[in-house]
Amino acid sequence: MTLLDSAVWGGKFHSDGWQDSPAEQPVTEPATGDRLGTVGLATPEDVNRAAARAAEAQRAWAATSPQRRAAVLRRAGELFTEHAAEIEDWLVREAGSARSKAGFEAGLAIGECFECAGLPTHPQGEVLTSEEARWSLARRRPAGVVSVIAPFNFPLILALRSVAPALALGNAVLLKPDPRTAVSGGVVIARIFEEAGLPAGVLHLLPGEGSVGRAVVEAPEVRVISFTGSTPVGRAIGEQAGRLLKRAHLELGGNNALVVLPGADVAKAASAGAFGSYLHQGQICMTTGRHIVHESLVEEYTAALAAKAEALPVGDPAREDVALGPIIDHRQLERVHGIVTDSVAAGAKVAAGGETDGACYRATVLTGVTPDMPAWREEIFGPVAPVLSFSTTEEAARIVNDCEYGLSVGILGDVGTAMKLADRIDSGKVHINEQTVSDEPNAPFGGVKASGTGSRFGGAAANVEAFTETQWLTVRPDIADYPF
- Count of the separate structural domains present in the chain: 2
Q: Residue 67 sits in which domain range?
A: 6-252+452-473
184 within some domain? yes
The reply to whether 169 and 220 lie within a common domain is yes
The reply to whether 82 and 152 lie within a common domain is yes
- Among 107, 111, 119, 110, CA closest to 70: 119
**What percent of the chain clears pLDDT 90, i.e. is strictly above it?**
97
Are residues 172 and 146 in contact, defined by beta-carbon separation less than 8 angstroms?
A: yes
To the question of pTM greater than 0.85 for the whole model, the response is yes
| Each residue's pLDDT tens digit, 205-260 | 999 999 999 999 999 999 999 999 999 999 999 999 999 999 999 999 999 999 99
When pLDDT is averaged across residues 63-76 and rounded to a whole number, the result is: 98
Q: pLDDT averaged over the chain?
A: 97
Q: Residue length, the chain? A: 484
251 catalytic residue (yes or no): yes
The reply to whether 208 and 285 lie within a common domain is no
- Across 20-24, 122-126, 371-375, the highest mean pLDDT is recorded for 371-375
Q: Compute how many other C-beta atoms are within 10 angstroms of the C-beta atom of residue 125.
A: 16
Q: What is the pLDDT, as a whole number, of residue 388?
A: 98
- Phi, psi (degrees; rounded to nearest 5) at 350: -90, 115
444 within some domain? no
The reply to whether 414 and 338 lie within a common domain is yes
* 251, 360, 379, 403: the active-site residue: 251
If DSSP codes are grouped into helix, strand and coil, which group holds residue 162? helix
The reply to whether 54 and 160 lie within a common domain is yes
145 within some domain? yes
The reply to whether 151 and 262 lie within a common domain is no
27 within some domain? yes
1 within some domain? no
Q: What is the pLDDT, as a whole number, of residue 454?
A: 72
Q: What is the pLDDT, as a whole number, of residue 414?
A: 98
Q: What is the pLDDT, as a whole number, of residue 457?
A: 82
| Each residue's pLDDT tens digit, 253-282 | 999 999 999 999 999 999 999 999 999 999
* 116, 285, 360, 403: the active-site residue: 285
The reply to whether 106 and 26 lie within a common domain is yes
**How far apart, in whole angstroms, are the C-alpha atoms of residue 291 and residue 298?**
10
The reply to whether 58 and 140 lie within a common domain is yes
| Each residue's pLDDT tens digit, 302-321 | 999 999 999 999 999 999 99
443 within some domain? no
Cα separations in angstroms, 46 against 42, 154, 213, 282: 6, 26, 12, 35
CATH number at residue 321: 3.40.309.10
478 within some domain? no
The reply to whether 270 and 180 lie within a common domain is no
If DSSP codes are grouped into helix, strand and coil, which group holds residue 177? coil
The reply to whether 211 and 72 lie within a common domain is yes
CATH number at residue 464: 3.40.605.10
Are residues 339 and 398 in contact, defined by beta-carbon separation less than 8 angstroms?
A: no
455 has pLDDT over 70: no
22 has pLDDT over 90: no
Are residues 145 and 171 in contact, defined by beta-carbon separation less than 8 angstroms?
A: yes
Cα 357 → chain centroid:
27
Q: How confident is the model at residue 1 (pLDDT cuts 50, 70, 90)?
A: low
The reply to whether 279 and 368 lie within a common domain is yes
230 within some domain? yes
The reply to whether 244 and 313 lie within a common domain is no
